[in-house]
Structure 1
Amino acid sequence: MLKIDRLELGPVQTNCYIVSGEDQHCIIFDPGEEAGKIQAVIKRKQLKPLAILLTHAHFDHIGAVDELRELYKIPVYLHHKERDFLGTPKLNGSAKYAAVPDYRVAPADRLITDEQTLVIGPITMDIFHTPGHSPGSVSFYFPEDRFAIVGDTLFSGSIGRTDLAEGSESVLLQSISSSLLTLPGETFLFPGHGPETTPKQESQYNPFLRP
């Protein structure tokens, strides 16, 4: 059974997830800021990082990428439609805010091009392309453990914003409907901000998804 650690990091409290499996191997999802806090959890639990996976490349999800990649010598995975976002402040959203420095991160090491089953060490997951919040947003689904990491596609009681580069509300709603709400109702959905939820809960109570 996989284990999940959640850290709320950076100025907008972005959720970073550390998913660990057999032999303490782990994957880091969306290390948005505060690399030291991520390192502390990894050290305390004696974990062995294998990769960094990004649900998308907005600035609040990528701030600690380069530091962790260099420290652990691990690859970074990102959807190919956002290959230019990491190094471009206008695309990753950091240029939009005067109080936020321009974020420029080195290119991803591995580009996701298709929906697929991805195996990294002992950890297996399905990748769903869930655009709308951004063009290359993806969700990572772990069917055996009944959870998914969904980035800023869907939140508890809300949905992702669509006013940043290449966002689309109609595309976002279609992604949620076809990829997330079709999962088993009690699947835990871990979003980029805020608490976890389930497809059943969002289908019934999310005001953005009700007819």
Structure 2
Amino acid sequence: MNWTQIPLGPLQTNAYVLMNKNKEAVIFDPGGNGPEFIKWLKDQSIKPLAILLTHAHFDHIGAVDEVRDAFNCPVYIHQEEKHWLTDPNKNGSSRFLGDAAISTQPADHLLTTEDPIHIGEFTFEVFHTPGHSPGSVSYYLASEGIVFSGDALFKQSIGRTDLPGGNHEQLIKSIHSKLLELPEETTVASGHGPTTTIGEEMDENPFLSGF
């Protein structure tokens, strides 16, 4: 399998395309630039099987409906944010984008447990990692040694917790109890900025020291 990081939308949120040898793919957090992103997928003959959302802040969902409609693929999100897709006040777009506020159709699947999910050849472990937002989740693909962490953990940083539903102590607990338990060589594919590894963040992340 291979994966591609593609910054999209007003905040250049990292979308990820994880693809197998048959060009079947899972899309993470398509944050915007829908027409261009869809054209790129079609030009590469990629066949999206699903859209997995790490959370429902506006900068992660801007192209959800366009991609879902173009490829007829279902959308997954945690139940804690099931209403955020349809509500610009909850997803933050009314505050940050004004007249360009974002709402999408509801998700097709709600994540209610941390049971693994199976999509085609892909099997992901699901970690509920709240703190940045109540329904934040991280998707771990053990076979490839990569975790898609959304805005929970960044290279030498962590997600902001000053937005509605954010909780700093909860985020630190999520990172330590879920993400830092992964093998140190695990790649962390974050929602913004460059990738990192669990080991690097254990050693160098100033927000995680002293715990």
Identity of aligned residues (%): 47
Say how many residue pairs are matched.
210
Superposed CA offset, 1:27-84 (max 9, x none): 1110000112322332232111111110000000000001111111111100000001
Q: 2:172 corresponds to which letter in structure 1?
A: L
Task: Please give the alpha-carbon distance, in whole angstroms, between the structure 2 residues aligned to 1:135 and 1:79.
Answer: 9
Residue pair 2:29, 2:60 contacting (<8 A) in 1 also: yes
Unmatched 5+ residue regions in structure 1?
none
Matches within 5 A, 1:23-102: 23-97=22-96, 101-102=100-101
Letter in 1 for 2:192: H
Instruction: Specify the alignment match of 2:131 in structure 1.
Output: 132
Counterpart contact for 1:59–1:92, Cα < 8 Å:
yes
Name structure 2 gaps, 5 residues minimum: none
Q: Distance in 2 between matches of 1:67 and 1:52?
A: 11
CA-based RMSD: 1.2
Q: What secondary structure is seen at the aligned counterpart in 2 of 1:171?
A: helix
Distance 1:15 1:98, change over 3 A: closer
Deviates most, 35-44 or 101-110: 35-44
Check the 8 A contact 2:38/2:70 in 1, yes or no: no
Please state if 1:123 is matched with 2:98: no
Q: In structure 1, what is the Cα distance between the partners aligned to 2:97 and 2:44?
A: 38
Would the aligned equivalents of 1:54 and 1:61 in 2 still touch at CA under 8 Å? yes
Q: Which secondary structure state, in structure 2, belongs to the residue aligned with residue 23 of structure 1?
A: coil
Corresponding residue number in structure 1 for 2:109: 110
Q: Offset at 1:99? A: 5.4
State the alpha-carbon separation in 1 of the partners of residues 99 and 31 from structure 2. 13
Could you state the TM-score of these two structures normalised by the residue count of structure 1? 0.96
Q: What SS is found at the alignment partner of 1:175?
A: helix
